[in-house]
Amino acid sequence: MDLQLEGKRVLVTGASKGIGLAVVRAFLAEGATVVATARRSTPELAATDAVFVPADLSTPDGPATLVETVLAQNPQLDVLVNNAGGGDRPEGMFEDPFSGDDDTWATVFALNLNAAVRTTRAALPALTKARGSVVNISSSSARDPHTAPLPYAAAKAALNAFTRGLAEATGRSGVRINAVTPGATRTDLLAGPDGLAAGIAEHMGVDHATFLAGLPEQFGMLTGDLIDPSEIARAVVLLSSPAMPSAIGSNWTVHAGQMKTA
């Protein structure tokens, strides 16, 4: 299938590892030119053909400065993938029903919601000119908020609302806004040594590796395994493709049966 992405210019945030890195590789495989951003690069990202532009998108000015830099290099921009997200595990999250104080909530929302809003706002004129697309990376915790710290789940739920609302506002101008919702995916945020699973395992007094191996069954994932980031990347590439002109305001879930409601 020709996804009509050859020669397109793509900006991927949170691109240094995990889902973001997989998205970079997937677009490059389709012949696109990719600009990748994160606070810091990694050897894995440096090994790709992506152009790296460092940025801290959690700051108020970071997204606009990033987009200005990217467009100064080349005014063409066809696809924006808002993948930057995550955050540190809140201290005392197992005892605190709010999973953090006001500063924690503000920090999590800055990275998981505000960064996407601000980056999209800055990129929208170029995307409108290109009749391009935006794909926001959400999380299954937006629909099952008990599976993650509450600030993160709430921020991703807000990102879903932002995606759907902006899609209505930009659809007639030719810019398609969509989201991809991953289930439990093998990334550092979940499975890394400082990730959510490690914190839960420590709290329960069980071995991290043992807990991680049993996580798919606990989540009801029918494949018996965590999702590989490359699967999420394939959904992102397809949603962003000009070959999918009617995909507007969609939220594609890739969850291995984890989500039990329609």
Q: Which of 80-84, 209-213, 239-243 has the lowest mean pLDDT?
A: 209-213
Whether residue 33 lies in the annotated active site: no
Reported as a pLDDT band with limits 50, 70 and 90, residue 159 is very high
DSSP string, 184-234: SBSSHHHHSTTSHHHHHHHHHT--HHHHHHHHHHHHT-TTSSPBPHHHHHH
86-141 pLDDT, tens digit per residue, is 877 767 677 788 989 999 999 999 999 999 999 999 999 999 999 999 999 999 99
Are the CB atoms for 135 and 81 separated by under 8 Å?
yes
- Would the pTM of this model clear 0.85, i.e. be above it? yes
Rounded CA-CA distance 243/223 in Å is 29
What percent of the chain has pLDDT above 70? Answer: 95
Angle at 211 between CA 94 and CA 151, to 5 degrees: 35
Would you give the DSSP letter of residue 41? -
Rounded CA-CA distance 119/112 in Å is 12
Q: Which of 41-50, 110-119, 172-181, 210-219 has the lowest mean pLDDT?
A: 210-219
Residue of 105, 152, 162, 219 with catalytic role: 152
Are the CB atoms for 224 and 216 separated by under 8 Å?
yes
Higher pLDDT, 188 or 232: 232
| Domain spans in the chain, listed from the N-terminal domain onward | 9-185+228-254
Rounded CA-CA distance 247/176 in Å is 7
Give the CATH class of 9-185+228-254. alpha beta
Q: Please count the other Cβ atoms lying within 10 Å of the Cβ belonging to residue 57.
A: 24
